[in-house]
Amino acid sequence: MSQSKNKKVRIALFDFADCEGCQLQVTYLNDQLVGLLEHCEIVNFREAISERSDDYDIALVEGSITRKHDEERVKKIRENAKILIAYGSCACIGGVNGLRKKFTQEEAKDIVYKGREFPIDVGEPRPVHEVVKVDYFIYGCPTNNEETIKALKSILIGKGYTPPRYPVCVECKLKENVCLFEKGQVCLGPVTRGGCGAWCTSYGNTCYGCRGLLDKPAQEGQMDILKKNGYTLEELKQKFETYNLCRMMGEQNATEKS
């Protein structure tokens, strides 16, 4: 986006159905946040400031959209913002909120609010782009500050930001990590969108697929790898569900329809 010489770019953060962990990441930016604030100002940030404004250029939207009320609110944000960024996995792919889709609304209500009698609006969890147009995506649960900064700089200078289309393995190998498959663990790295700098796997964790499925996963190849390591598709699916049920159910529906 083009910047006029003196006016600072106004950034607003909003949260929907989520844990607000990605917003918390913003507070961890520390020095970098100070640098950014030389040409930006944050006008909405529930976790850190009390100011509220409807006048902003960039909206960082965190969380999945679930209820009718949320839908209206995010539409309003879309109207106000020149640039809308889906920020974090809940916003980008539905994230863990997607697990709700394993149950009917009634079942879910019953599990969570058992015995309590009050009207509660439970909607279908959706990534933001299923409700309004999203300009850019910053994936991750939580988002990785290095990527957030990279994306913001890139958007501010007018280049925009496209997350990598390659799997987590690319960055994992560059870090010279010992492959987790070699250590007998199920890792979702090969089918998960990279860009996180192989954050989890560099610390000995497996990849949980929080950045969502690749645009073009190699399904056959992936199955081979699983079989070779003694895992089943079910096991992979189960692990993948944690973050990706919105897309998985979506796809299921799409295929059912066709």
Partner 1 sequence: MRYVSLQKDKLPQFVNSLQKKYKVVAPVKKENLFVFATIEDPEEVELDYMPTILPPKKYFLPQHEKLGSFVKDNVAMADTNIDVEPTVLFGAHTCDIEGIECLDIVFHDTPADPYFGRRKKSIIIIGYECMKPCDEYSTCVTMDTLNPRAGYDIMITDIGDKYILYINSPEGMGIIGKNPIFGKVENERDVKTKLLKLREDKVKNFKVQIDADYKELNKIFGTSYNSKTWQDVGKRCVSCGNCTAVCPTCYCFDINDEVKLDMSGGKRERVWDSCQLDEFAMVTGGENFRKERSSRQRHRYYRKFDYSVKKYSKFFCVGCGRCTRTCMADISLIETVNELAKEHKNAK
Partner 2 sequence: MQSKLLKKEMTIPADFLYSPRAATIVKTKQMTANEKFFEIKFDDGEPLGHEPGQFIQLSIFGIGEAPVGICSSPTKEDRSTFEVCVRKVGTFTNALHKLDVGDKLGIRGPYGRGFPIDELKGNDVLIVAGGLGIVPLRSLINFIIDRRRDFGNVMILLGCKGPKDRLFTDDMKEWERMLNINYACTVDRADPDWKGNVGVITTLMPGVHIDKNRTYAVVVGPPIMYKFVIAELLKKGLSENQIILSLERRMKCGLGKCGHCQINSVYVCKDGPTFTYAELKGLGEAL
Binding positions for partner 2, rule: CB under 8 A: 2, 157-160
Contact string 79-118 vs partner 1 (x = CB under 8 A):
----------------------------------------
| φ, ψ for residue 167, nearest 5 deg | -75, 165
End-to-end CA distance of the chain: 40
Does residue 235 touch partner 1 according to CB under 8 A? no
Task: Determine if 35 is a binding residue for partner 1 (CB under 8 A).
Answer: yes
Residue 85 or residue 156: which is nearer to partner 1 going by CB?
Answer: 156
**CA separation, residue 68 to residues 48, 75, 124 (Å):** 27, 11, 9
Among residues 38, 55, 106, 234, which is the contact residue for partner 1, using CB under 8 A?
38
φ, ψ dihedrals at 61, nearest 5°: -105, 120
The answer to whether residue 212 forms part of the interface with partner 1 (CB under 8 A) is no
Identify the CA nearest to 60 among candidates 147, 190, 119. 147
Tell me the closest approach of the beta carbon of residue 160 to partner 2, in angstroms: 6
Residue pointed to by tokens 């994936």: 139
166 binds partner 1 per the rule CB under 8 A: yes
- Please report how close the Cβ of residue 151 comes to partner 1 at its closest, in angstroms: 12
Rounded to whole angstroms, how far apart are CA atoms 168 and 210?
A: 11
The CA-based diameter of the chain, rounded to the nearest angstrom, is: 60
Selection from 168, 216, 160, 166 nearest residue 189 by Cα: 168
CB under 5 to 8 A by kind: which of partner 1, partner 2, none does 27 bind?
none
* Smallest distance, partner 2 to C-beta of residue 139, A: 19
Which span (53-61, 87-95, 217-225, 249-257) binds partner 1, by CB under 8 A? 217-225
Nearer to partner 2, 160 or 221 (CB): 160
